[in-house]
A = this chain, B = another copy of it.
Amino acid sequence: MSEGTPPQRGFTRGEFEHRLERAQAAMARDEMDALVVTAPPNVRYFSGFATQFWESPTRPWFLVIPREGCVIAVIPEIGAPGMALTWVDDIRTWPAPVPEDDGLSLLGGVLEDLPRRFGRIGWEMGREHVIRMPIKDFDTLRSQVSGLEFVDGSPTIWSLRMVKSPAEVAHIRHICQIASGAFERLIDEVVIGDTELDASRKIRIELMKGGADLVPFAATISGPGGYDQIIVGPTERVLGDGDVLFIDLGALYDGYSCDFDRNYAIGSIRDDVARAHEAVWQATEAGIAAARPGATTTDLWRAMARVLEDAGSRGLNVGRMGHGLGMQLTEPPSNTPDDGTELVPGMVMTIEPGMEFTPGRMLVHEENVVITEDGCELLTRRAPREMWRIG
């Protein structure tokens, strides 16, 4: 059940040094004296610190990436032994939780002491970012740290994370292969009469057996001849003849995610479903063919939209046809009519066309690719042109 040799867990010290170098070059360009990150993927990206403890919202964690010098971790005491295992040497702790001062004065002191050139500190203030601390505390901090402006560091951070290293791509490729195998084996596991919840449990078990670490996302949805949405489910709905079962997976290997879906025909396939499946499959082909350096996310969107329109698409409520992928299920950029981000080698993208083909019924398709020097490499095992059948 193994999907090839798993890539080594974690990253070399050289990889972290390279991430820091890129970040410091970007800070010089974007005129910041430091970046402060609080969100789990950003903390992990720059430190290598891996924990599931982020599920507890009680304590904030801070990583300060100065324009010069080493990364500084400003974290709750509970995390010190774990952070000591990473490449980060400068670790400052406080005995959290202390709601009246959860790291604020400690972090404020670190920021005050930074060498200043631009007087600006970048925070996760913008696009597809959340600052993981009470905003009341953030307001206090920015009013108290004198002479330092807090600015949006999101474009800086995304400019770094959007382009993956070969080691990162190997991680994503591995989880895509694990999920591909789980999807294939599911054909023999799910039976007519199962509920969506049963199907969801079965794919989660197959993912675990295949080597996934955890499965934050396994949307499992069904409907007669298609579905009307792709984010709410599984429910106790029972799978019956003529249904389409849709599963969209975000499983993790060592902190990196896949994000792709598969459609299963339960029993018989309606003609309009088969035609819609052919359309989204062909649109995916067009998206993959368009994915190459120099093309833009808008080119990707157009390549897919053309096929869907020709097939009579009535549109879609999803808002885009794919996006970046990495440590998170979805990352910038977005494949939309006006996103216009230029693709460069190392960007990992989902190719995700979908269409409402009759009122209230849609099909969505998805594969994951990495942009290479002269095109793209498919990271998932391509879904078959004809829908898989169960029962």
A residues near B (Cβ < 8 Å) are 9, 49-53, 55-59, 76-82, 85, 95-99, 123-136, 138-139, 152, 154, 197, 200-201, 204-205, 208-209, 213-219, 228-232, 234-236, 250, 317-320, 323, 328-330, 334, 336
Contacts and interface: CB of A to CB of B under 8 A. Distances in A.
A82 B229 contact: yes
User: Which secondary structure dominates where chain A touches chain B?
Assistant: loop
A238 B131 CA distance: 37
A51 B132 contact: no
A152 B219 CA distance: 33
Contacts of A214: 204, 215-216, 218
Given A9-B236, A78-B318, A232-B82, A55 B328 contact: yes
14 contacts: A50-B232, A78-B231, A79-B229, A79-B232, A81-B232, A82-B229, A82-B232, A96-B319, A99-B127, A126-B136, A131-B131, A197-B213, A204-B214, A205-B209
Contacts of A209: 201, 205
A232 B85 contact: yes
A152 B136 contact: yes
Nearest to A127: B99
Contacts of A99: 127
A111 to B, nearest CB: 17
A216 B53 CA distance: 9
A251 B123 CA distance: 32
Nearest to A82: B232
Given A55-B250, A209-B205, A328-B57, A130 B127 contact: no
A129 B134 contact: yes
Contacts of A230: 78
B78 A216 contact: no
Contacts of A231: 51-53, 78-79, 82
B128 A58 contact: yes
A81 B127 contact: no
